[in-house]
Structure 1
């Protein structure tokens, strides 16, 4: 499951792209620290976008923790969207990449191979998420997952939900069901690259 992501997006670009989609964006807690984060891990804070709590129709950018404590203290950082009607607590998680790992395949290789998945056409994108209040850690979010699309299937049996920008507004305002939007990414959406810079072979 996805337990690491990257976010190296300039605040100005993020704000402009939301503006171009006619999604007004505000900062109720002040402009967030958008220093580049090449590695965001479970329990780390990063920015999310969610609908505001008033009737303004705006979205708000806030910084929240990735994962809340689940059963037996295990962190809930991925949340299955399958067969669930996720209507409350929706959010968008802006990233420019996420990581997956595959078992060693080369002779003498001891560590798993690490792959960075970026968007094939956009410099950054949004993963669908859900946030909640937790008595122990406060407000926190998890990334939604679904069955893998063709770009992910050779590497993992699940994938995070990568939303098309045309669906961001419907995700935030609830005008589309989670079943409609939480689907595998179409072929050609994501580009895998080994972290050492070696492109993935065509067969994964």
Structure 2
């Protein structure tokens, strides 16, 4: 499951894309000042778009913490989606790539790190939810499913990158989750080995 992702695309470019898709984005806390980040880790603060109850075709761009404390204080950074409807508190998590880790290669001590990017666009959204926590305030987590064909060779679960045509539906909590949450077709996600360094796999 994903415990590290990336966002190097400028927020201004992301806002232009939302406008082109006719998704109206409010910035109630001001436009987040987000520097390019090769690694966004658990408990870091990062930009998300949160759905607005009773409103379709838009959301609000805010910065929130990734993960809330679960039982025993263990961070809830991924959340199983199967069998759940998510009738409130939906978010789009902005990213241009996410990482998965596999066993170390021969002669290496560290796990092999893979970056997954989307074939057809330079950035995308991951399906998530948010929750208010009494100690840390509002925080978000990524939803997961059984892996699709692109992720199955690397991990037994995967987060949910959403096609652009489903972003509005995910922000609208009246749309059943089962109509939105699915894995992408084979070949949609491109893996590249980050560590040990190696050229991208195509």
Q: What TM-score does the superposition give when structure 1 sets the normalisation length?
A: 0.93
Name segments (4+ residues, structure 1) moved above 4 Å: 53-57
Instruction: Decide whether the 8 Å contact of 1:89 with 1:130 is kept in 2.
Output: yes
Q: Does 1:198 align with 2:199?
A: yes
Q: What TM-score does the superposition give when structure 2 sets the normalisation length?
A: 0.94
Instruction: State the match for 1:163 in structure 2.
Output: 162
Task: Tell me the distance in 2 between the aligned counterparts of 1:55 and 1:49.
Answer: 13
Task: Tell me the distance in 1 between the aligned counterparts of 2:30 and 2:200.
Answer: 39
Q: Does 1:68 align with 2:87?
A: no
Structure 2 portions without partners, runs of 5+: none
Counterparts of 1:1-204 in structure 2, within 5 Å, are: 1-52=1-52, 55=55, 58-106=58-106, 108-195=107-194, 196-200=197-201
**Aligned with 1:118: secondary structure?**
strand
**Aligned with 2:91: secondary structure?**
strand
Greater mean alpha carbon deviation, residues 191-200 or residues 21-30: 191-200
Task: Tell me the distance in 1 between the aligned counterparts of 2:59 and 2:140.
Answer: 16
Greater mean alpha carbon deviation, residues 168-177 or residues 23-32: 168-177
Instruction: Decide whether the 8 Å contact of 1:147 with 1:183 is kept in 2.
Output: no
What RMSD in Å do the two structures reach over aligned CA positions? Answer: 1.5
**Aligned with 2:31: secondary structure?**
coil
Task: Tell me the distance in 1 between the aligned counterparts of 2:26 and 2:119.
Answer: 28
Greater mean alpha carbon deviation, residues 12-21 or residues 114-123: 12-21
The number of residues matched between the two structures is 200
